[in-house]
Structure 1
């Protein structure tokens, strides 16, 4: 814990560069973030220790499960279920705390403080503890993609002497055409490679049909599911590498 240090009636705390900074000079939002990070990390480390104990306890060793008696298996199952419940409870509260913190800052600044997708990092003032929240989304593509493909094919067939591709050198034009062709290649499984498709959105091509096709691609993108992941890290000093605090029975 980065406890304040009193010097000449002024309280200081170490910042992320290791220098002492007067507490009064630290932004209130940073102090709130620091308090939240330390609180969550304290629970995370305690829970990680419980998981490690469960995994390493000879009593819960399942390497020879066929020879364990029924009562022992039931006790291990009970312990595992209780631990799983703790993990779920901790994850729920952690995501709630992080979301509440974001909402508070968003209200204060009249804008979303973090990324729209929820991917963000929370760090202690001293830079020794860090929490990362990532949002993984699943995307489907709608029927607008067919319209986009039709327009793009029109462009490829009618561009006169690569007129719309002149901003790239002659050597680059075949590659640009290859990118466009690969984007709509459904492959053996009949599915479009989204990464190839999204590359098209980065190409700046001066053609109204092209721009309409890119708009259709954007409208075709539909987020179907979204899942949040929280990861925890700490380090002993600013020179040390980050060390994960694992909250996962399977990985401990």
Structure 2
């Protein structure tokens, strides 16, 4: 409760107005008490989960370092996806890294080179290829280009000097905006080979 409000025997409402305590309805007081109690408990649980997450990352990194030491290899920081499984195979933990990528201005060079290729191939090129390329450079509602579609062009086996330069421009234009590491817990279902996640998400529990 706001100290100034308590001093004056008032409760601040959602609009910041000070309401005399005796004018606050009993049901409103009970609601306030319930909300604050549950939020307080939730904050404690959130802090425990945050501490668990930090400790889990550190413990996994330490284990990986220990495991690789037997081969004379050192790996610093959180790197790469991996899976750790209990000896009986009942439990497993996965660490996965998801990167968000985008393209810098060099993607425009790739688009120009590809356009030149299309113009050169116009008479003999298949319409499916032209549609695929045009679709790759379309933007979504947020004005963003699909990284998956653009990078998918690199899988096309096309022997052309300009196309090769365009693919290099695409590769050079890729930049990693964010990198997020996740830890997921799994438990094997009975005697099957199927694993189900152990959720720490309150909305799932």
- CA shift, 1:188, in A, is 5.3
Asked which structure has the greater CA Rg, the reply is: 2
- CA shift, 1:209, in A, is 1.4
Of 151, 155, 159, 2:121 maps to: 159
Q: What is the distance in 2 between the residues matched to 1:71 and 1:133?
A: 40
Q: What is the distance in 2 between the residues matched to 1:102 and 1:220?
A: 33
Of 123, 128, 135, 2:97 maps to: 135
Deviates more, 1:132-141 or 1:90-99: 132-141
Matched-pair contact (CA < 8 Å) for 1:127–1:238: no
Q: What is the distance in 2 between the residues matched to 1:155 and 1:111?
A: 46
Number of the residue aligned with 2:36: 74
Of 166, 169, 179, 1:226 maps to: 179
Q: 1:87-166 counterparts in 2 under 5 A?
A: 87-109=49-71, 118-159=80-121, 162=124
When normalised by structure 1's length, the TM-score is 0.61
Q: Deviations over 1:164-209 (max 9, x none)?
A: x7xxxxxxx3322321221122355432222211110111211121
Number of the residue aligned with 1:247: 200
Q: What is the distance in 1 between the residues matched to 2:72 and 2:108?
A: 39
Deviates more, 1:151-160 or 1:203-212: 151-160
Q: What is the distance in 2 between the residues matched to 1:92 and 1:235?
A: 25
Corresponding residue SS for 1:68? helix
- CA shift, 1:145, in A, is 0.2
Coordinate RMSD, CA, aligned: 2.8
Matched-pair contact (CA < 8 Å) for 1:138–1:223: yes
- CA shift, 1:107, in A, is 4.6
When normalised by structure 2's length, the TM-score is 0.73
Are the structure 2 counterparts of residues 246 and 67 from structure 1 closer, same or farther at C-alpha, using a change threshold of 3 Å? Answer: farther
Q: Deviations over 1:112-169 (max 9, x none)?
A: 99xx96222211222211112222222121001001111111111113754xx7xxxx
Q: What is the distance in 2 between the residues matched to 1:201 and 1:99?
A: 34
Are the structure 2 counterparts of residues 68 and 244 from structure 1 closer, same or farther at C-alpha, using a change threshold of 3 Å? Answer: farther
Are the structure 2 counterparts of residues 247 and 190 from structure 1 closer, same or farther at C-alpha, using a change threshold of 3 Å? Answer: closer
Gaps of 5+ in 2: 1-26
Number of the residue aligned with 1:206: 159
Are the structure 2 counterparts of residues 88 and 148 from structure 1 closer, same or farther at C-alpha, using a change threshold of 3 Å? Answer: same
| Matched length | 177
Q: What is the distance in 2 between the residues matched to 1:203 and 1:76?
A: 56
Q: 1:20-39 counterparts in 2 under 5 A?
A: none
